[in-house]
Structure 1
């Protein structure tokens, strides 16, 4: 698969993940429980209690819903404030990550040279990972709060045992897609992290340079420079000043006829 296709696929996957996370902030039924549903009369009475990040609600069997909006910011429960803050922080990081990745993609004609675009794409992938970790922390904080009440040994009267709602699972899937998209980005720009090394051989007044990949040269099967030539291994553009040792030439023998002349 080509570099452009991998980057496009990563962009679509990560964008879908951020869309899932964004939708969960406005969705209902973050936690839900029910009371009733069983009785001896022909009318089955049941009630659902559910909550999200902005309100607590009650729905009865006649589909009538009554909600209580959360008060001002400093009066909201601490864990709800933490979940809101982590999600908003993650969405902010994701916004910068999407912009940087869009500029650094190989199929766009903005961002400058290829090396600059690769660096921008790598920076965008880092923003994606940081935002995804922030969102995962928010969902885990909410899950931990519900689990502590649900699996507690002793629960006081009037305390409801809630179950996890659909937005939690949708948000976790979105975080997985975000990190997966960041991995696709990094795969295409691994040269920024691990640049290829170069080997420079000096012979007389000139130089000979070839790329070395995984400890083997491109000419390993056909030509191998002798030990009398100096070599320099590095990453980047070579110059004569980087050569560690000048080549040493073998002294030539003078025949008797040439000495006589």
Structure 2
């Protein structure tokens, strides 16, 4: 496996993992829309953990969601998926660092190191998939309520936290795919067959008299 591919995949997975940690506490997963409003006195924005409001003077107030069971199902699922993404990314970084060729953690057994690096790539893929599902599901509910003319509550738009999550998912998926494919190509070995020289194969038996006469001709004998 190419060491450059390992380093690039590790950097992409690490950046994606850091961006997941930035997206989870970000308060702007959804922001109240100003579409159709002549005067806007306050702005409401929410994430997976709390709801905040700010007025025209710049004073903002936040409160955490009081009950987990009282939340919508997609918010609970998004929380679980984002936490799972952090866990997968942490183990993916650890496995990739151990399985890299420049690392001495697993000794000099390159086959074992390649398999460990491949596991790290799979974990990066799981991190990206969990993040992608979480932020896409959350954004789907925002757009569904926004375009529903019969929705009686406050309508929201997509916030910057979701864009950070999408970027994180893409980086993790690309890094995990590169690492997994590189490990798969590196472990596939060509079969080598023993060399057989061309030429006459001689047996251990001496040639018969008729064969000798045929080979040397009649003039060889007196």
Q: Which runs of 5+ in 1 are unaligned?
A: 40-44, 201-206, 210-224, 229-247
Query: What displacement does 1:117 show?
Result: 0.6
Find the aligned partners of 1:34 and 1:132 in 2 and give their Cα distance.
29
Q: Distance in 2 between matches of 1:78 and 1:189?
A: 38
1:72 equivalent to 2:63? Answer no
Superposition RMSD in Å = 2.9
How many residue pairs get aligned? The number is 211
TM-score, length-normalised on structure 1? Answer: 0.72
Instruction: Compute the displacement of 1:181 (Å).
Output: 1.4
Per chain length, whose mean CA-contact separation is higher, i.e. which structure has more relative contact order (CA < 8 Å, sep 6+)? 2
TM-score, length of structure 2 as denominator length: 0.83
CA distance in 2, matches of 1:54, 1:110: 39
Tell me what 2:127 maps to.
131
Q: 2:191 aligns with which of 180, 185, 198?
A: 198
Q: Is the 8 A contact 1:37 1:46 kept in 2?
A: no
Residue 181 (structure 1) aligns with:
175
| Separation in structure 1 between the aligned mates of residue 113 and residue 126 of structure 2, nearest angstrom | 20
More strand by share: 1
Kindly provide the CA deviation profile for residues 188-235 of structure 1, in whole angstroms up to 9, marking residues without a partner as x: 323355x123142xxxxxx428xxxxxxxxxxxxxxx87x9xxxxxxx
Query: What do the CA deviations read for 1:150-191 (whole angstroms, capped 9, x no partner)?
Result: 1113222xx111100001011100111111112332343233
SS across alignment from 1:197: coil
The structure where helix makes up a greater share of residues is 2
- Gapped regions of structure 2 (runs ≥ 5): none
